[in-house]
Amino acid sequence: MVDPITLLIMVLAIGIGGLLVSIGVHFVPVGGAPAAMAQATGIGTGTTMLAASAGFLGLISAGLVMEEMMIGKIEYASFVAAVGDGTLFSPAGIVANIGGIAMILAAGIIGAMLMMVILGGVSNILYVYGLGVPLVSAKVKYDPITGDRQDLYVTRGTEGHGTPTVALVSAVIGGILGGFGGSLIYLVFLAGGFSVAAAAIGAIGIFFVNSVLASYNITGTIEGFHDPKFKRWPRAFVASAIASIIIGVWVAAIIYMGVA
Amino acid sequence: MSEHKDMSWNTLAAIGMIGGLLAIYIAYFVNNAMDVAYGSFIGAIGAIFAIVWGADAVRQICKYGIGTGVPSIGMLAFGMGLLTTILGLKIGDYTGIVLAGPVLALVLSLIQGAIIGYIANGVLKMKIPTMQIGMIFIAGSASLILMAFSTVMAGTFEYGAFMTDIIGTGFIAPLFILGALPILHPFNACLGPDENQKRTLTLAVESGFIVTVIFGILSIALVGLAPAAITIVLGLIAWVFGYLSYWNRVKECGVVIKDTGLLPARED
Question: Which is higher by pLDDT, A38 or B201?
Answer: B201
Task: Give the SS3 label for residue B143.
Answer: helix
Inter-chain touch A207–B79, beta carbons under 8 Å: yes
Inter-chain touch B112–A246, beta carbons under 8 Å: yes
Mean pLDDT on B214-232: 91
Q: With 60 as the cut, is the pLDDT of residue B1 above it? A: no
Which backbone phi and psi does B101 adopt, to 5 degrees? Answer: -50, -60
The burial class, CB within 10 Å (0-12 / 13-18 / 19+), for A43 is buried
* Helix (H) / strand (E) containing A136: strand A136-137
Residues of B in contact with A216 (CB under 8 A): 66-68, 120, 124, 126
Helices A196-218/B172-190 angle, 10° precision: 30
Residues of A in contact with B90 (CB under 8 A): 253-254, 257
Task: Closest CB to B116: pick one of A202, A220, A243.
Answer: A243
Would you state the pLDDT for residue B54? Answer: 93
Mean pLDDT on B37-57: 91
Task: Closest CB to A242: pick one of B83, B119, B170.
Answer: B119
Mean pLDDT on B20-46: 89
Q: Answer yes or no: are the C-beta atoms of A213 and A240 closer than 8 Å.
A: yes
Cα–Cα nearest to B90, from B107, B78, B73, B104: B104
Task: Closest CB to A195: pick one of B84, B168, B176.
Answer: B168
Q: Which stretches in chain A have pLDDT values below 50?
A: none
Would you state the pLDDT for residue B3? Answer: 55
The CA distance from B62 to the nearest CA of chain A, in Å, is 12
Chain A residue with Cα closest to B94: A257
Task: Closest CB to A212: pick one of B72, B82, B87.
Answer: B72
The CA distance from B207 to the nearest CA of chain A, in Å, is 21
Identify from A208, A217, A256 which residue to disrupt to test chain B contact, counting B C-beta atoms within 10 A and taking the largest count: A208
- Which among A75-84, B206-215, B216-225 has the top mean pLDDT? B206-215
Mean pLDDT on B195-212: 92
Q: Answer yes or no: are the C-beta atoms of B189 and B64 closer than 8 Å.
A: no
The CA distance from A221 to the nearest CA of chain B, in Å, is 8
Task: Give the predicted TM-score (pTM) of the model.
Answer: 0.90
Band the pLDDT of B201: cuts 50, 70, 90. Answer: very high
Mean pLDDT on B210-230: 91
Inter-chain touch A213–B94, beta carbons under 8 Å: no
- B111 vs A243: CA distance, rounded Å: 12
Band the pLDDT of B4: cuts 50, 70, 90. Answer: low
Task: Give the SS3 label for residue A222.
Answer: strand
DSSP label of A40: E
Chain A residue with Cα closest to B78: A205
Mean pLDDT on B147-159: 91
Mean pLDDT on B89-98: 91
Cα–Cα nearest to A22, from A204, A222, A205, A244: A244
Would you state the pLDDT for residue A244? Answer: 93
Mean pLDDT on B37-66: 89
Would you state the pLDDT for residue B268? Answer: 65
Question: Which is higher by pLDDT, B264 or B235?
Answer: B235
Percent of chain B scoring above 90 in pLDDT: 56
Task: Closest CB to B68: pick one of A47, A197, A257.
Answer: A47
Would you state the pLDDT for residue A1? Answer: 63
